[in-house]
C-alpha cells in the first residue's frame, strides 16, 4: 500500500517536473507579433467586465493583432491569483498586460516589480503616480462628465413625470445603488445627481451600498428598497443586472452604467454612460509597439472618445433629451460648464472654496492636494482615478457600512 | 421474472481492489465529462483534458502554484483530521483558518513598523496559533462541559470569524471606502515570511510536507493518537479504559484549531500578504472531503488534495481558454467528484442481482 503511494507520488512529481521543462516565451517580441494579456475580475455576465472584454477585442482587431496573440483571463479575483495570472501572462511572452479591477492594483505592482521589461496597465487604480515604476501605469476616464450627462436624461424624465402629474416636484427623489463608499462611487453618484438637478432643481437622492462590485441579489434588493422608499428613478454603480431588472419589474425608470441594459429593461431603461476603453488600449499597445513610454496616469475624456453615452431609449426618455445632452456636452467640451462647479452645490450648508483631497493614497487617508480652483473641483486631474469624496447636501446615504 | 438488487456490506476488500474501483470511477467520470462536453460545446474532449493538465502543470510557475495550492488544502485537511478521527464533527476549519489570518494580519498592520522582522514573525506565529487554537477550544470546551452540538457550534464560529474579518477590513481599508486592505507592508515587506532559496512558492510546500509527516507520526505512533482512535471508536470504551475523554476532546480540538491558525499565517504572511473575507475560499469545508476520502491517512491526503486542486486549476483554465463560463468548469468538477464519492459506496458495499423467486430468507443473508 505505502509502496504504491510512493510510486504514484513519484510519478506525479516526475510528470509535473517534465511539464516544468517547457520554456517560457521571449519577453521582447518584434512589434508585429506583440502579445497582449488582459486580466478581468469577472466574465461577460458582468456589465463592467463585458465593457472591458469588448474593448479588448475591438482594440486588438483595430491594431491588427490576431486572436492567437492576445489572451483574456476572466474571473481573476482581487488577490494573489491576480499576481499569478499577471506573472503567467508575462511567462507566456506578453509584453503588455492590462487589469480591469480596482483591487487588482497591488498585485499588478508586485508583478511589475518582478518583470521590469513588461508594461503593466491598471484601470481605475490610484498608485502609479506615487510608486515611481517605469512599467506600471494607471488609467481612468472623466466618467463624471458622462454621469453628469446621463443625469440630465434622468432630470428630464423626472420633469416629464412631474408634468404628467405623477408626483409633486418635492417628491422627485432619485435612488442610487452603489458598491462601496469609495471616492470612485461618490464621484459617480454626485456628478449624476448634479446633472439631474441642473434640469430638475427640486431633485433629491438616496444612495444605498452593497459592499460588493458584483452581487446581483444585493443590487436587486437595494433597488427594491429605494423604490419602496419612494424613489421615482433609479441609477446604479455596481456591475450586475440586479438594479435594471428590479426597475423593469417595478416599472421605475432606470439610468444604467457600463453599457445598455435595454435587453432586460425595454420599458424602463433610459440611457447609460460608460467608459470606452478602446482609445486607452490602443494608445498603450501602440506605445509598446513603437517603443515609446506610457503615461503614469491616463485620463480619457469626451474628446478622446473614452466617455460615451450608449443607446438612448426614445420610448422611455423624455422628449428633447438627446438635444439637451448634446448642448451640455458641447459646453463641457468647451470648458464653459464644469460638473463640480462649486456654485451648484453646498457642503454642510456652505459653498466650498477650498478642499484638500487624498490624492496620494495612504493608510491614514492624509489630505494632500488642494483640488478647488477657478470655481470648480478639479476631478481626475492630479491622478486619473476620481478623488471626489464629499458628501454634498441633497444626497442622503443609507447603509454606509461599506 | 423480476430481478432485484440486493445490497450487502463488504466484509473486506483488498486495498489494491479498492484503488482499482476508484481509478475506474475517475475514468468513467472523464468519459461522461467528455460526452457532455462534446454535446454541449462541440469541443473535442481530448483538447479539454489536455487543457486541464496545462492549467495545472503547463509551465514551471503553474506547477509551483498547483503545489502551493495543494499545500494549503492539505495543511487544512491535516488540521481537521485528528478531530474527525475522534468522531468530533468539526466543520469550523474555515473560521479557524480565517481567525488565524486575522491574527497575523493584525500583527503585520499594528506592529509592522514597531518590531524587528524576526520578532514580528514570531509574534505573528504565536498570535495565529493562539487565535486558531481558541476557535477550536471553545466548541470543544462547551461540548465537553455542557454537551453542546459541536457541528452547529463550529459552524457558527465560522460566521463570527467572517464578520470579525469583515469588520477589520473596514477599519484597515486603503483607500477609504474601497472595502479592501490591499497588500500589507508592500514596500517594507515587514511580517512577510522569507523566501526559501529565492523560490517564492517553496516555503508553504516545505512546511506542510513536514506537517504531513508529523501528523502521520502523531496519529499512528503517539499515545495521543491512540487515545484519539479509541475515543473515536467509542467514548464509553475510552472512559472505561481510563482515558479522560473530555480532556482528549479539548486537547485535540485545540490542536486542530492551532494548526488551522498556522495555515492562516501561511495564507496571509506567506502567500497572499493581504486579508479578505474569502481568503480561505471554502477550503475549510473542502478539507473535510479530502480527509474523509483519504480515510484520515495523512499520506493518502496528498493525493486527494492534489486531485481536487488539479481539477480546480484545470477548470479555471478551460473556462479561460475556450471562453466558457466558469460554471461549465464547475459542472465538470461536480461530475468527477460525484463519481469519486460514489465509488466509495461500491468499495463499502457490493450489489448482487437476485431473482424474486428466491426465498425471503436468502435475501436477508
Q: Do residues B213 and B123 share a domain?
A: yes
Q: How confident is the model at residue B357 (pLDDT cuts 50, 70, 90)?
A: low
In chain B, which residue ranges form alpha helices assigned H by DSSP?
A: 15-41, 45-57, 60-85, 93-111, 117-146, 150-172, 202-221, 223-233, 235-240, 245-265, 283-293, 298-321, 326-348, 360-363
- How would residue B355 be classed by pLDDT, with cut points 50, 70 and 90? low
Taking the CA atoms of residue B339, residue B342, residue B346 and residue B347 in that order, the dihedral angle to the nearest 10 degrees is 90
Same domain, B17 and B132: no
Is B111 in the same domain as B257?
yes
Residues 6+ apart with CB under 8 A from A71: A35, A36, A37, A38, A89, A92, A94, B320
Report chain B's mean pLDDT, rounded to a whole number.
90
Verify that B128 and B248 share a domain, yes or no: yes
Could you say which DSSP state residue A350 is in? Answer: B
Residues 6+ apart with CB under 8 A from B283: B72, B73, B76, B93, B94, B97
The verdict on B144 and B173 lying in the same domain is yes
B348 and B245 housed in the same domain: no
Residues 165-194 of A with CB under 8 A from B: 180-183, 185-186
Q: Round to whole Å and give the CA distance between B141 and B246.
A: 8
B165, B168, B172, B177 alpha-carbon torsion, rounded to 10°: 90
Using a CB–CB cutoff of 8 Å, tell me whether A401 touches chain B.
Answer: yes
Output the pTM of the full model: 0.86
**Selected residues 206-265 of chain A with any CB under 8 Å from a CB in chain B:** 211-212
CB contact under 8 A, A180 and B177: yes
- State the ipTM, two decimals: 0.84
With b meaning 16 or more CB within 10 Å and e meaning fewer, what string describes B212-249?
Answer: beebbebbeeeeebebbbbbbeebeebeeeebebbebb
* Stretches in chain A below the pLDDT threshold 50: 1, 17-31
Are B27 and B82 members of one domain? no
Q: Cell 489572451 sits at which residue? A: A71
| Cross-chain residue pair B300–A211, CB shorter than 8 Å | no
Of B177, B183, B303, the CB nearest to A106: B183
Contact B78, B211 (CB under 8 A): yes
Q: Do B295 and B183 belong together in one domain?
A: yes
Secondary element (H or E) of residue B297 = none
How far A319 CA lies from chain B's nearest CA (Å)?
38
Dihedral over alpha carbons A178, B323, A39, B101 (to 10 degrees) = 70
Q: Is the peptide bond before B345 cis (omega within 30 degrees of 0)?
A: no
The answer to the question of residue B332 being in a domain is yes
**Contacts of residue A291, Cβ cutoff 8 Å, sequence gap at least 6:** A31
Q: What would the mean pLDDT of B259-284 be, rounded to a whole number?
A: 94
Quote the pLDDT of residue A29. Answer: 45
Q: Which residue in chain B has the smallest CA separation from A179?
A: B178
Q: Please report whether residue B57 resides in a domain.
A: no
pLDDT reading at B213 higher than 80: yes
Distance separating alpha carbons of residues A214 and A203, to the nearest angstrom? 28
- Percent of chain A scoring above 70 in pLDDT: 92
CATH number, residue B181: 1.10.3470
Beta carbons of B90 and B172 less than 8 angstroms apart: no
Question: In degrees, to the nearest 5, what angle opens at C-alpha A76 toward C-alphas A142 and B71?
Answer: 145
Domain membership flag for residue B170: yes
Q: What are the two backbone dihedrals, phi and then psi, of residue A269, each rounded to the nearest 5 degrees? A: -70, 130
Question: Given this model, what pLDDT does residue A24 score?
Answer: 41
Do B226 and B208 reside in the same domain of the chain?
A: yes
Please name which of B280, B283, B320, B313 lies closest in space to residue B61, comparing C-alpha atoms. Answer: B313
Q: How many CA atoms lie within 13 A of A236 on its CB side?
A: 39
Within a domain: B62:
no
Residue B363's domain comprises 1-43+327-365
B360 pLDDT more than 60: no
Q: Hey, are the CB atoms on B57 and A1 less than 8 Å from each other?
A: no
| Residue carrying the nine cell digits 405623477 | A166
Q: What is the mean pLDDT of residues B148-177?
A: 94
For residue B294, the chain A residues in CB contact (below 8 A) are none
Nearest-CB residue to A5 (from B178, B274, B300) = B300
**CA triplet A23, B192, B316: central angle to 5 degrees?**
45
Three cell numbers written together for B186: 508592500
CB-CB under 8 Å, B63 with A106: no
SS3 annotation, B163-191: HHHHHHHHHHCCCCCCCCCCCCCCCCCCC
Tell whether B78 is covered by a domain.
Answer: yes
Grid coordinates standing for B90?
468539526
In a domain, B59, yes or no: no
Q: Residue A18's pLDDT is what?
A: 47
Burial (0-12, 13-18, 19+ Cβ within 10 Å), B146: exposed
> By C-alpha distance, which of A204, A165, A139, A110 is closest to B186?
A110
Helix (H) / strand (E) element for A74: namely none
Whether pLDDT at B28 is above 50: yes
Range of lowest pLDDT (B62-71, B337-346, B355-364): B355-364
Q: For residue B358, is pLDDT > 90?
A: no
pLDDT score for B319: 77
Express each pLDDT in B83-138 by its tens digit.
Answer: 999 999 999 999 999 999 999 999 999 998 899 999 999 999 999 999 999 999 99
DSSP B200: T
Pair B163, B136 in one domain: yes
DSSP B50: H
Q: How many domains does the structure of chain B reveal?
A: 2
The full length of chain B comes to: 365
Q: Domains in chain A and their CATH numbers?
A: 27-141+278-300 (3.40.50.2300), 143-274+307-334+385-397 (3.40.50.2300)
**CA-based torsion, A280, A286, A290, A291: positive or negative:** positive
Kindly tell me if the per-residue pLDDT of B313 is higher than 50: yes
Same domain, B5 and B149: no
- SS3 for A8? helix
Residue B341 lies in a domain: yes
Residues B198 and B299 in one domain: yes
List the grid coordinates of A69. 496573440
In a domain, B204, yes or no: yes
Amino acid at each position: 500500500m505505502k509502496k504504491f503511494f510512493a510510486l504514484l507520488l513519484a510519478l506525479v512529481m516526475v510528470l509535473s517536473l517534465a511539464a516544468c521543462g517547457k520554456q517560457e516565451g521571449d519577453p521582447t517580441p518584434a512589434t508585429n507579433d506583440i502579445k497582449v494579456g488582459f486580466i478581468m475580475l469577472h466574465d461577460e455576465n458582468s456589465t463592467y467586465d463585458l465593457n472591458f472584454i469588448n474593448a479588448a477585442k475591438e482594440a486588438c482587431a483595430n491594431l491588427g493583432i490576431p486572436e492567437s496573440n492576445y489572451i483574456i483571463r476572466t474571473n481573476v479575483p482581487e488577490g494573489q491569483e491576480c499576481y499569478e495570472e499577471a506573472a503567467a501572462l508575462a511567462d507566456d511572452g506578453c509584453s503588455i498586460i492590462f487589469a480591469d479591477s480596482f483591487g487588482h492594483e497591488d498585485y499588478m505592482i508586485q508583478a511589475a516589480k518582478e518583470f521590469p521589461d513588461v508594461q503593466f496597465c491598471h484601470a481605475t487604480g490610484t498608485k502609479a503616480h506615487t510608486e515611481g515604476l517605469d512599467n506600471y501605469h494607471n488609467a481612468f476616464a472623466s466618467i463624471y462628465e458622462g454621469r453628469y450627462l446621463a443625469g440630465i436624461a434622468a432630470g428630464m424624465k423626472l420633469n416629464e413625470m412631474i408634468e404628467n402629474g405623477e408626483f409633486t416636484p418635492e417628491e422627485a427623489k432619485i435612488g442610487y445603488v452603489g458598491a462601496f463608499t469609495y471616492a470612485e462611487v461618490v464621484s459617480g453618484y454626485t456628478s449624476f445627481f448634479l446633472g439631474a438637478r441642473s434640469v430638475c432643481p427640486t431633485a433629491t437622492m438616496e444612495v444605498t451600498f452593497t459592499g460588493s462590485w458584483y452581487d446581483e441579489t444585493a443590487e436587486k434588493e437595494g433597488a427594491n428598497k429605494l423604490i419602496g422608499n419612494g424613489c421615482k428613478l433609479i441609477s446604479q454603480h455596481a456591475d450586475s443586472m440586479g438594479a435594471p431588472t428590479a426597475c423593469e419589474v417595478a416599472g421605475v425608470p432606470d439610468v444604467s452604467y457600463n453599457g445598455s441594459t435595454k435587453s432586460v429593461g425595454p420599458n424602463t431603461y433610459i440611457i447609460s454612460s460608460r467608459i470606452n476603453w478602446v482609445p486607452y488600449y490602443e494608445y498603450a499597445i501602440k506605445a509598446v509597439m513603437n517603443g515609446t513610454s506610457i503615461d503614469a496616469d491616463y485620463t480619457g475624456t469626451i474628446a478622446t472618445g473614452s466617455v460615451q453615452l450608449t443607446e438612448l431609449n426614445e420610448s422611455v426618455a423624455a422628449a428633447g433629451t438627446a438635444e439637451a445632452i448634446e448642448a451640455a456636452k458641447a459646453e463641457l467640451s468647451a470648458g464653459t460648464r464644469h460638473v463640480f462647479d462649486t456654485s451648484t452645490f453646498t457642503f454642510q450648508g456652505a459653498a466650498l472654496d477650498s478642499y484638500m483631497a487624498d490624492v496620494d493614497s495612504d493608510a491614514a487617508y492624509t489630505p494632500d492636494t488642494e483640488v478647488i480652483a477657478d470655481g470648480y473641483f478639479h476631478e481626475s486631474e492630479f491622478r486619473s482615478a476620481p478623488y471626489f469624496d464629499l458628501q454634498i447636501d441633497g444626497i442622503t446615504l443609507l447603509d454606509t457600512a461599506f | 421474472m423480476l430481478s432485484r438488487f440486493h445490497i450487502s456490506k463488504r466484509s473486506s476488500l483488498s486495498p489494491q481492489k479498492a484503488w482499482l474501483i476508484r481509478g475506474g470511477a475517475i475514468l468513467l467520470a472523464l468519459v461522461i465529462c467528455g460526452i457532455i462536453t462534446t454535446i454541449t460545446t462541440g469541443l473535442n474532449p481530448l483538447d479539454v483534458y489536455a487543457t486541464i493538465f496545462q492549467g495545472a502543470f503547463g509551465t514551471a510557475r503553474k506547477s509551483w502554484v498547483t503545489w502551493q495550492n495543494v499545500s494549503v488544502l492539505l495543511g487544512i485537511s491535516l488540521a481537521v483530521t485528528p478531530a474527525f478521527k475522534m468522531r468530533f464533527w468539526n466543520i469550523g476549519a474555515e473560521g479557524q483558518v480565517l481567525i488565524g489570518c486575522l491574527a497575523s494580519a493584525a500583527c503585520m498592520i499594528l506592529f509592522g513598523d514597531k518590531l524587528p522582522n524576526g520578532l514580528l514573525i514570531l509574534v505573528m506565529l504565536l498570535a495565529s496559533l493562539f487565535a486558531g487554537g481558541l476557535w477550536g477550544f471553545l466548541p470543544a470546551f462547551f461540548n465537553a462541559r455542557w454537551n453542546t452540538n459541536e457541528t452547529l457550534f463550529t459552524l457558527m464560529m465560522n460566521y463570527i470569524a467572517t464578520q470579525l474579518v469583515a469588520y477589520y477590513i473596514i477599519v484597515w481599508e486603503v483607500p477609504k471606502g474601497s472595502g479592501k486592505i490591499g497588500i500589507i507592508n508592500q514596500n517594507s515587506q515587514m511580517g512577510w515570511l522569507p523566501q526559501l532559496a529565492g523560490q517564492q512558492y517553496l516555503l508553504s510546500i516545505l512546511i506542510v510536507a513536514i506537517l504531513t509527516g508529523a501528523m502521520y507520526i502523531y496519529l499512528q505512533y503517539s499515545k495521543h493518537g491512540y487515545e484519539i482512535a479509541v475515543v473515536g471508536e467509542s467514548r464509553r470504551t475510552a472512559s472505561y479504559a481510563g482515558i479522560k475523554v473530555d480532556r482528549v476532546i479539548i486537547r485535540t480540538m485545540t490542536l486542530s484549531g492551532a494548526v488551522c491558525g498556522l495555515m492562516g499565517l501561511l495564507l496571509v504572511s506567506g502567500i497572499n500578504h493581504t486579508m479578505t473575507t474569502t481568503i480561505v475560499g471554502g477550503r475549510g469545508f473542502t478539507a473535510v472531503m479530502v480527509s474523509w476520502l483519504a480515510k484520515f491517512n495523512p499520506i493518502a491526503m496528498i493525493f486527494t488534495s492534489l486531485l481536487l486542486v488539479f481539477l480546480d486549476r484545470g477548470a479555471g483554465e478551460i473556462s479561460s481558454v475556450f471562453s466558457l463560463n466558469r460554471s461549465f468548469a464547475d459542472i465538470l468538477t461536480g461530475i468527477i467528484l460525484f463519481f469519486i464519492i460514489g465509488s466509495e459506496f461500491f468499495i463499502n458495499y457490493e450489489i448482487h442481482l437476485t431473482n424474486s423467486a428466491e426465498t425471503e430468507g436468502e435475501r436477508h443473508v
